[in-house]
């Protein structure tokens, strides 16, 4: 029996709009993944601590506030400090293409914008997991 992919869906910062995060969380759950949703207004420290405690494979941030160039790097830094180098950091929101490229260069996974088909997110995470050392655990 194949183990379920564990995904933490988080809403960092002061952004109070979580409909998209809930839609993605439901789609991942419907695709057979185990999903933990943090709720609104999480700090990067809270997100990484939850990811560590829950032993997740993927951390997915939903950021609509424009703070993506602060929040993604901070979460990535904290993940690295905690030795979570084999955990995927991905997400989505209102993120300009040039910022997506900069974040990818820093080590953030693929990012998704408004209107993305949730099946694209599911397929991306499945493909990443299949090629990850975590799939052997």
pLDDT tens string, the chain, 137 residues long: the values are: 578 999 999 999 888 888 999 999 999 999 999 999 998 999 999 999 999 999 999 999 999 999 999 999 999 999 999 999 999 999 999 999 999 999 999 999 999 999 999 999 999 999 999 999 888 87
Q: Is residue 21 part of a domain?
A: yes
Q: Token pair for residue 100?
A: 């997506």
Number of domains observed in the structure of the chain: 1
Q: Is residue 18 part of a domain?
A: yes
Q: Is residue 95 part of a domain?
A: yes
CA–CA distance, 75 with 108 (Å, rounded to integer): 10
Candidates 69, 67, 5, 23; CA nearest to 42 is 67
Is residue 111 helix, strand or coil?
A: strand
At 136 the pLDDT is: 80
Q: Is residue 1 part of a domain?
A: no
**What is the per-residue burial (b if ≥16 Cβ within 10 Å, else e) of 111-125?**
bbeeeeebeebbebb
- Which residue segment(s) compose the domain that 78 sits in? 6-131
Q: Is residue 17 part of a domain?
A: yes
Q: Is residue 97 part of a domain?
A: yes
At 13 the pLDDT is: 87
């Amino acid at each position: 029996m194949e183990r379920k992919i564990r995904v933490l869906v988080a809403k960092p910062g002061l952004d109070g709009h979580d409909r998209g995060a809930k839609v993605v969380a439901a789609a991942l759950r419907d695709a057979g993944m185990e999903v933990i949703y943090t709720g609104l207004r999480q700090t990067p420290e809270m997100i990484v601590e939850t990811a560590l405690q829950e032993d997740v494979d993927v951390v997915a941030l939903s950021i609509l506030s424009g703070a993506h160039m602060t929040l993604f790097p901070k979460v990535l830094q904290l993940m690295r400090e905690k030795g979570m180098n084999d955990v995927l950091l991905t997400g989505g929101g209102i993120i300009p293409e040039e910022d997506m490229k900069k974040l990818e260069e820093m080590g953030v996974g693929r990012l998704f914008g408004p209107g993305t088909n949730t099946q694209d997110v599911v397929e991306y995470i499945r493909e990443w997991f299949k090629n990850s050392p975590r799939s052997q655990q």
